[in-house]
Chain A
Amino acid sequence: MTTLTATPTTAAAAARRARRRGRLAPWVYLAPALVLFTLFLALPIAYSVYLSFRTVKVSGLGLGAGARTEVWAGFDNYARALSDPDFLASVARVGLYGLVLVPTMLGLALLLALLLDARRTRAKGFSRVSIFLPYAVPAVIASLLWGFLYLPRVSPFFYVFDRLGWDAPELLSSQWVLFAIANIGLWGGVGFNMIVIYTALKAIPTELYEAARLDGCSEVAIAWRIKIPVVMPSLILTFLFSMIATLQVFAEPMTLRPLTNTISTTWSPLMKVYRDAFTRDDIYSAAATSVVIALATFVLSFGFLRLVQRRAFSQENA
């Protein structure tokens, strides 16, 4: 750069400094977030993608320092991941788990939120706090509590069934364990989603249904025709976040494992990733599997958002 330009007047210099400061300021605010985002989100994703295309080539007997070298693997890891029966079984399992859990949880959350918002129900404060309380319990602890409650020697349900002379279902048997885990997810998630929907319900201006009420519309009709359509964006987002959380189920089955032998080390896709990476030391295959899971999550999320016409985020992109 040349230094021959005339010295600007001090006022112009100040104005330019201010302008430069103005241009720089947002980046200063964003810097910590961007640095952390790069280091702990973008870089790990890129590294995962890189590893997913690599593999270790063993030459000779695999002994010595130079015997194991990392080479490009093309799509081998993906081909292996996608054709691995363990992985496919875990995907099917978690798909069923999601189909059981998400609609049940959101249906109940919506029902409870509407009841909290209804004018004729009682015991609202108590119910709201009680139902929200499980959100304060980590998934590991929740699984631990329910895990004990599923044991025939501890569970009061078995006690009742026993007294009645009925055969109680073995909740941790391979037939029921999926529902047992879904119940833990339901218990932990219903309150949070209820609060989200309830907050949206409270934001509805009362005029919107006061007229309907004066016309003799029933509370149920008001809920169906007015309240539910208005809180639809919240329902969409709770659905989206629940779906993402479902795909990642890990803590619950991991915690229940010591209590039963029906949960394999590849029960959920993430458990398989964990096993491949840390038990089998095959980080390449684990990376490919996690990239597949991440892509599936993205496709599902964006597909879903597109399906609902991006109503949820449309106001944000102004």
Chain B
Amino acid sequence: MTTTTSPALSVPVPRRADRAVRPARTPRERPSLWGTLILLVGAAYCLFPVLWVVMASTKSASELFSTFTLAPSTHLPENVVDLSQYRGGIYWRWMANTALYAGIGGLASVVVSAMAGFGLAKFQFRGKKAVFNVILAGVLVPGVVLAIPQYLLLAQVGLTNTYWSVLLPSIISPYGIYLARIYAAASVPDDVLEAARTDGAREGRIFTSIAVPMMVPGLVTIFLFQFVAIWNNFMLPYIMLGDDRLFPITVGLSGLLNQGASQPAMYTSVITGALLSILPLAALFLTLQRFWQVDLAAGAVKA
């Protein structure tokens, strides 16, 4: 590692910005037009649907298909009211459900991953390699293939169509454990643990007051990963849930779109709902940007 800047601040600023003040600045340093242009085209491509949904959500149902697609209108407040009144405000219930699934599921996942990662990184025991390899293989299991047997098994204990049916399968994250193991190995020194044990500290206390604080930046990343994965998940809740009061936003909006096929007036609600559902996660991304530095190969998090 050659970076000398404070690691916590290294992210939003391009890391090598410090080079701009170096004397070895040659005339070749002029901005690259093509490179910058390609980046801007990429940004435009990625922002375009978002721009469209912002514009479309301001239109009334009749304007949606009649005015120019990127021309704004003035009906956003009505659309939000319409959406909020749809079936007694079920949209907001879907949002709350999503926050619950992603929030609680993500937190539980972090706790489980942190414990397992710490156990795998900081202890020598028989079977350690086997356990780790099994978990590593779990990373490669196509998660969605599990959804149907998970449904059948949960049906046998009567847990389908409950909050549990979406929460419980979301907690285990082999990739989270893999990351936590690497993070524990890198950030918790053995001699600190040894010293604490010599002082007679209990295991649980060593973990909560020594290991966890040292692992926090990595744990935040694991949380974000799992939070987004659960937030974005469609198939699991789609299979598990029948009662629309338990739906997360993805399943709810997909159902609304289906209704739009027969009653196009629903489309404005679908579009407004899509916009409102993007906002919280986008805000989360922008505020926690510095934790999104994921080196898959090293597994480490450079925060």
Q: Does B141 sit within 8 A of A, measured CB to CB? A: yes
For residues 230 through 280 of chain A, which have their beta carbon under 8 Å from a beta carbon of chain B? 231, 233-234, 236-238, 240-241, 244, 247-248, 250-251, 254-255, 258-259, 270, 273-274, 277-278
Is A144's CB under 8 angstroms from B40's CB? no
Q: Does A55 sit within 8 A of B, measured CB to CB? A: no
Q: Looking across the interface, which residue of chain A has its beta carbon closest to that of B270?
A: A144
Is B116's CB under 8 angstroms from A29's CB? yes
**A127-B40, A133-B47 known; A316 vs B299 contact (CB < 8 Å):** yes
Q: Looking across the interface, which residue of chain B has its beta carbon closest to that of A235?
A: B297
For residues 1 through 19 of chain B, which have their beta carbon under 8 Å from a beta carbon of chain A? 1-2, 12-16, 19
Q: Looking across the interface, which residue of chain A has its beta carbon closest to that of B168?
A: A40
Query: Which of B74-82, B84-92, B252-260 interfaces with chain A?
Result: B252-260
Is B138's CB under 8 angstroms from A41's CB? yes
Q: Which residues of A contact B56 (CB under 8 A)?
A: 148, 154
- CA A134 to CA B2, docked complex, whole Å: 31
Please classify how large the interface on chain A is, using the bins under 10, 10 to 19, 20 to 34, 35 or more.
35 or more
Q: Which residues of A contact B141 (CB under 8 A)?
A: 41, 45, 294, 297
For residues 222 through 260 of chain B, which have their beta carbon under 8 Å from a beta carbon of chain A? 228, 231-235, 238-239, 249-251, 253-254, 257-258, 260
Q: Which residues of B contact A51 (CB under 8 A)?
A: 149, 152
Q: Does A112 sit within 8 A of B, measured CB to CB? A: yes
- CA A156 to CA B116, docked complex, whole Å: 50
Q: Does A108 sit within 8 A of B, measured CB to CB? A: yes
Is B171's CB under 8 angstroms from A36's CB? yes
Q: Does A149 sit within 8 A of B, measured CB to CB? A: yes
**A23-B125, A129-B289, A290-B148 known; A199 vs B239 contact (CB < 8 Å):** no
Q: Does A8 sit within 8 A of B, measured CB to CB? A: no
Q: Does B72 sit within 8 A of A, measured CB to CB? A: no
Q: Which of B2, B69, B148, B177 contacts A154 (CB 8 A)?
A: B69
Q: Which residues of A contact B281 (CB under 8 A)?
A: 136-137
Please classify how large the interface on chain B is, using the bins under 10, 10 to 19, 20 to 34, 35 or more.
35 or more
Q: Which residues of B contact A115 (CB under 8 A)?
A: 35-36, 38-39
Centre residue among B128, B143, B296 by max chain A CB count within 10 A:
B296
- CA A79 to CA B177, docked complex, whole Å: 37
Is A298's CB under 8 angstroms from B140's CB? yes
CB distance from A23 to the nearest CB of B (A): 7
Interface string of B111-155 (1 = CB under 8 A from A): 111011011100101001101001110101111111011101100
Chain A positions near chain B (C-beta within 8 angstroms): 21-23, 25-30, 32-34, 36-37, 39-41, 43-45, 47-48, 51, 108, 111-112, 115-116, 118-127, 129-142, 144-149, 153-156, 159, 187, 190-191, 195-196, 199-200, 202-203, 205-207, 231, 233-234, 236-238, 240-241, 244, 247-248, 250-251, 254-255, 258-259, 270, 273-274, 277-278, 283, 286-287, 290, 293-294, 297-298, 301-302, 312-313, 315-317
A-B contact pairs, 30 of them (CB 8 A): A23-B125, A25-B203, A33-B112, A34-B116, A39-B168, A40-B169, A41-B174, A44-B150, A118-B32, A120-B30, A120-B35, A122-B36, A135-B285, A136-B228, A138-B231, A138-B250, A140-B234, A142-B49, A187-B46, A199-B293, A199-B302, A233-B298, A234-B296, A237-B297, A248-B143, A251-B235, A287-B148, A287-B149, A315-B298, A316-B136
